[in-house]
Amino acid sequence: MWSADEIAELCYLHYRTRLPKQGKPDRNREWTSLAAVVKVESAIQREVLPSPGNLQVTKEVVAMGTGTKCIGQNKMRKTGDVLNDSHAEIVAKRSFQRYLLHQMWLAASHQQCSIFIPGTETGKWKLKPNIIFVFFSSHTPCGDASIIPISEPENQLSKPVTGDDAAGQSAECISNHDRLGPEDKRKSEKMASNHIIKRMKTDDDDYSSVITEDLAVQQVSVKRDGDTNPKSCECSAEIQTANKETGLGRPKVVDIYRTGAKCVPGELGDARIPGLGYHCVGLLRVKPGRGDRTCSMSCSDKLARWNVLGCQGALLMHFLQYPLYLSAIIVGKCPYSQEAMRRAIIERCQHISFLPDGFLTHEVKLLQSDLRFEHSRQAIQEVQTNSRTKLVPCSAAISWSAVPEQPLDVTSDGFRQGTTKKGIGSHQSRSKICKVELFHTFQKLVTSISQEDLPDTLRMKTLETYWDYKEAALNYQEAWKVLRSQALTGWVKNAKEYLRFT
């Protein structure tokens, strides 16, 4: 049907041919990240059902995003007209929601070219059975999925991966070793050869042992009074297994790639022990900002959420009979771990129960391509090997949606590129995928449908603000409540004041 390389190649071609030079990085000094959603449509012939291997499909990029930046908490606005999170995955997902809103309008207008067909409930729609969506990212998602082992043969000395800017990076993982000062590097080397016990202080002044033995597993179990489910902080099973099997000729794990994403406030934090114990896995994280803390959850966390709630968001759930799940997530050539991806996106939420009908912990396929993105950090680094110019992440983000009107959007600092301080707040300064613009597109969809054809959650209702409409999607909100209470307990939610715009 399709392969990871075919999807990657299609996305890279779309990036080269359909996105403008404006917003792309300067190859001499900048890099960026790319993400996209690809529609895969099977050509089902009723007379002859071909075997799965011979099934003919058409592949089309329907949404794309580039970007590596987030705005800090102090730059957030109560008018919904700024993009808080411009990491490529989030730009692509919001661009996808714009595409879905257009497709829903086509369905409601009774146009056969829509991806949706009528559901069994009034005003509800469902995806055509021969269509799936595949998510592509040129890089491993920032946060938990980026905490992956660095391994090498035992007879080879460690050569750490170069990393120059943890705060600005999206998810191009960085070796912990590179960020250490001389003293920490000495400690790291000492820990590699000695059996030692350190103690980590937790928030409530209890102490827990952290045991490190020949770079094997480090595990901390934090048990607080009254806790029935103690939180645990541990190295991944992949690191444990690799080190147990080093005698069998397996490469030895010598370090981990780091993520720039920080643990959420008030929750269990990283041990920050040089070497394998620097990070704890399975934790919720917020994206780093330049000085000012952001309120944006890591891409790993957001993908885990989409894998239970769907990619459509609360507003579109009014019109959908079932959540819209991604069938596969493909990552381009970069540092990658199947175990870390599975842990971050699927396993953290696998145990939850009592979700409303239609919602589930989706078993999304996780794949990697062997094709590298031409503007990735690593690709640019290789080209600039002998240059003394410091590489920096591109400040712009590009959004593209398969919609007829203004499919393209280039932003910087959350606003359309070129916006002046005086222009902030004007209609021209808004990205087409900011909250208020997507909300207005949704409202136009609602008003285009007669009252009797609206779903129950919208029929004869007096709803005004963005918050009102989101809260009225009852099954979505119930699923989100269950997910937050059972798995993503430390999720940083935006205050209501940022959602009460019209």
Q: Under a CB-based contact definition with an 8 Å cutoff, are residues 142 and 299 in contact?
A: yes
- 104: helix, strand or coil: helix
pLDDT of residue 208: 27
pLDDT of residue 120: 96
Task: Please name which of 283, 293, 269 lies closest in space to residue 70, comparing C-alpha atoms.
Answer: 293
- Give 182's pLDDT tier (boundaries 50, 70, 90): very low
Residue 294 Ramachandran class (φ > 0 left, ψ -120 to 50 alpha, else beta): beta
Task: Please name which of 382, 394, 393 lies closest in space to residue 169, comparing C-alpha atoms.
Answer: 393
pLDDT of residue 384: 85
- Give 211's pLDDT tier (boundaries 50, 70, 90): very low
Residues in the chain: 502
Enumerate residues 6+ apart whose C-beta is below 8 A from 350: 361
Which of the residues are catalytic? 89
Residue 480 Ramachandran class (φ > 0 left, ψ -120 to 50 alpha, else beta): alpha
- 214-235 burial, b at 16+ Cβ within 10 Å, e below that, comes to ebbbbbbebeeeeeeeebebbb
- 429-464 burial, b at 16+ Cβ within 10 Å, e below that, comes to bbbbbbbbbbbebbeebbeebeeeebbebbeeeebe
349-390 pLDDT per residue, tens:
999 999 999 999 999 999 999 999 999 999 999 988 878 889
Return mean pLDDT, the chain. 83
Instruction: Supply the DSSP string of 163-201, one letter for each residue.
Output: ---TTT-SS--EEGGGG--HHHHHHHHHHHHSEEEEEEE
pLDDT of residue 435: 98
pLDDT of residue 174: 47
Q: Which residue has the higher pLDDT, 68 or 110?
A: 68
Task: Please name which of 303, 272, 300 lies closest in space to residue 286, comparing C-alpha atoms.
Answer: 300
**pLDDT beyond 90 at 396:** yes
Distance CA 442, CA 378 (A): 39
Distance CA 8, CA 14 (A): 10
Distance CA 441, CA 245 (A): 55
Q: Which residue has the higher pLDDT, 335 or 289?
A: 335
Which secondary-structure segment (H or E) carries 396? strand 396-401
2-35 pLDDT per residue, tens:
999 999 999 999 999 999 999 999 999 999 999 9
Looking at residues 144-152, what average pLDDT do you find? Answer: 90
Q: Under a CB-based contact definition with an 8 Å cutoff, are residues 315 and 499 in contact?
A: no
Neighbour count for residue 411 (Cβ, 10 Å): 28
Q: Under a CB-based contact definition with an 8 Å cutoff, are residues 47 and 84 in contact?
A: no
Enumerate residues 6+ apart whose C-beta is below 8 A from 429: 81, 415, 416, 419, 423
Looking at residues 36-45, what average pLDDT do you find? Answer: 89
**pLDDT beyond 80 at 170:** no
Contacts 24+ apart (CB under 8 A), 458-462: 458/123, 458/318, 459/123
The sign of the dihedral angle between the CA atoms of 426, 430, 434, 436 is positive
pLDDT of residue 46: 46
CA–CA distances in Å: residue 351 to residues 143, 348, 354, 482, 483 = 21, 8, 10, 11, 10
Which secondary-structure segment (H or E) carries 308? helix 299-309
Looking at residues 261-286, what average pLDDT do you find? Answer: 91
Instruction: State the pairing for strand pair 252-258/174-175.
Output: antiparallel
Which secondary-structure segment (H or E) carries 149? strand 149-152
**pLDDT beyond 70 at 183:** no
Neighbour count for residue 96 (Cβ, 10 Å): 28
Question: How does DSSP classify residue 148?
Answer: -
CA–CA distances in Å: residue 203 to residues 143, 223, 281, 387 = 22, 11, 18, 45
- 97-126 burial, b at 16+ Cβ within 10 Å, e below that, comes to bbbbbbbbbebbeeeeebbbeebeeebbbb
Neighbour count for residue 291 (Cβ, 10 Å): 8
